[in-house]
Structure 1
């Protein structure tokens, strides 16, 4: 998960911002006569009271991660029009998604993970030209829709959001030019994996584990030539593992345990780190019981379009006009 590289000037600006921001934050908690200090205590401070943060209009990098800040982000953050990075992860922030971030034209890096934020995540966040989005380990409650595919981020982590739900849209292939890492583990997604995912030929990390994915593992994943780590464990996937996936030249870690796969090419066992436990693969150790596998086979077949995730087919073109020759005149 690489962050944006910042110049020496930006790093210096960050140092100044920390020195300035600390007394500003403390001023909302302490008497006016309290001396300003770069090491002012910030534990348990309520950020929404730090209105003065909006005065730092030249701020480019804002990192207050791994503290004990609570409350919500101040609305005055919308004034920081030069802000490139915001990292407030690993705090006790609550309330809704900070919509003021949508007003920042130069924002490229958003890290809100490990907080107590809740409610909808605005679709507009996927419209912004950001490079990395981390909102995992919160209490957001929203559905993944087609707007997700509009994101130009290289890294997206929506993990451990069990109220997320929805499905992986078939338009996900539209993210091929920019997406490098996609982590959706334990996000309450129930759908088939769309074959269009194979268009993500720059993707290096794909984690879809601990969800409700069903059906077969698309053979098109074998087109993702840059893929290094693939995790689809703890789903309801079945069928055979496509040989083309295990033949990917850079694949180092392939985890497909706790599914209902019935076959795997020998090539898969040559992947440096592979986990095929708790499936229905004959001759492999630590598989599901025969009763479990038979019970699964007697389930109704999976209809991927039943999830409402498959893009509707375009109507067929109208038939060509038929021109009949005029009958010869009758005399």
Structure 2
């Protein structure tokens, strides 16, 4: 009986030790698991800290600017700004970051391209926070209102394209304070009033002002800009093309003055623009002969004098220009063509000579119309122009015909050279 009791006590002791061992074993496993989780959590925390590090001050200001802009966008049918959420502005659609010009180690917002986004809204003052911006392209949207004065803070901006929008007000003079600006595109908006003479003292490579509501006249002193392209078309400037156009002789390659209500004679100085490839002064009130100086424009490819009230001879020097491919002088009162001008087809030059007073040519004006014009020749040396206004001619001893029923119709808005381009 005692033996049985001893055996039972021994078994109980063994089982107790066995369960104590298992308990220690599982406690160790729990401890190891807890330590592993703690290390894992710390690692994840450090990893997240690395990827969510605070923005540099310039990107933070850009974040504030873009959020303020998004707040005043009323329509975004293409959802371009749908991902303008959170501080990672370099991931926003249409926003482009690059190293700062003054410190390559700092990332900044350097460009904005929202061309053809069809966004409606306006430009808030907070865009001035984008002080590192070099490019701002907003072609073909529905932005409206005026250009903020705070744009003067964008001192690195060198390309500004606001074309094909609904901006209003006078010429945005704030752009004249931007020291780096070389490309200005304001076409197809509702800007109005006179152009500031200071515009033509800026070092622009190109500027496009067409299809607005600018009035007054082209400033007499065109300054010393270095522009290669100037487009004034489809405005109501009036007055004459000033002789100071010669200041662009070393750079100007394209001059478009279509439907701008300019009057008077073309100045001889136009012929000194020796780099000119395109000259279009159609749909205006220009009188007098073609300046002989135009025969010196050896690079000229496109010449359009159509829909004016010019008269006299079409000089052979124009028709013999080596690079001329298109010459339009229809709807004027030219009465004679010299030399090869009578047969431009033989030189493979596209031309339009309709509605003039050219003998033996088809589709010309009536004898009555031509006689009335020839009875009142224009003396360009004595002709004076009204400064501003609608471009009526005032003669000093001459008999210039003012705009009348023979004045040209409005230039079609769909003219190919005036379509605002898209930036890549």
Same fold (TM over 0.5): yes
Larger deviation, residues 63-72 vs 138-147? 138-147
Tell me, what secondary structure is at the counterpart of 1:191? strand
Q: Displacement of 1:73 after TM fit?
A: 1.1
User: Deviation string for 1:161-211 (max 9, x for gaps)?
Assistant: 1x2112111232221101010000100101111112111110000001111
TM-score, normalised on structure 2? Answer: 0.64
Other-structure match for 1:283: 360
Other-structure match for 2:300: 227
Tell me, what secondary structure is at the counterpart of 1:118? strand
Other-structure match for 1:117: 191
Q: Identify, as 1 or 2, the structure richer in helix.
A: 2
Tell me, what secondary structure is at the counterpart of 1:261? strand
CA distance in 1, matches of 2:171, 2:152: 13
CA distance in 2, matches of 1:114, 1:87: 11
Other-structure match for 1:177: 250
Tell me, what secondary structure is at the counterpart of 1:144? coil
Change over 3 Å in CA distance of 1:230–1:279 after alignment to 2: same
Unaligned residue ranges in structure 1 (runs of 5+): 1-17, 310-331
Q: 1:157 aligns with which of 212, 221, 231?
A: 231
Tell me, what secondary structure is at the counterpart of 1:69? strand
Q: 1:267 aligns with which of 340, 364, 380?
A: 340
Residues 239, 263 of structure 2: 8 Å contact kept: yes
User: Deviation string for 1:249-277 (max 9, x for gaps)?
Assistant: 00000000000001113422235211111
The residue correspondences of 1:1-331 to structure 2 (distance < 5 A) are: 23-29=67-73, 36-37=84-85, 38=92, 43-47=119-123, 50-161=124-235, 163-268=236-341, 269=344, 270-299=347-376, 301-308=378-385
Change over 3 Å in CA distance of 1:23–1:264 after alignment to 2: farther
Equivalent pairs counted in the alignment come to: 287
User: Deviation string for 1:130-174 (max 9, x for gaps)?
Assistant: 01010100001121132225332110000001x211211123222
Tell me, what secondary structure is at the counterpart of 1:45? strand
Other-structure match for 1:325: none
Tell me, what secondary structure is at the counterpart of 1:147? coil
Residues 149, 174 of structure 1: 8 Å contact kept: yes
CA distance in 1, matches of 2:340, 2:202: 41
CA distance in 2, matches of 1:281, 1:118: 40
CA distance in 1, matches of 2:237, 2:167: 19
Other-structure match for 1:319: none
Q: Displacement of 1:290 after TM fit?
A: 1.1
CA distance in 1, matches of 2:285, 2:296: 23
Residues 242, 265 of structure 1: 8 Å contact kept: yes
Unaligned residue ranges in structure 2 (runs of 5+): 1-61, 75-81, 86-91, 95-116, 387-424
CA distance in 1, matches of 2:139, 2:63: 15
Q: Which has the larger radius of gyration?
A: 2
Change over 3 Å in CA distance of 1:186–1:19 after alignment to 2: farther
Residues 251, 271 of structure 1: 8 Å contact kept: no
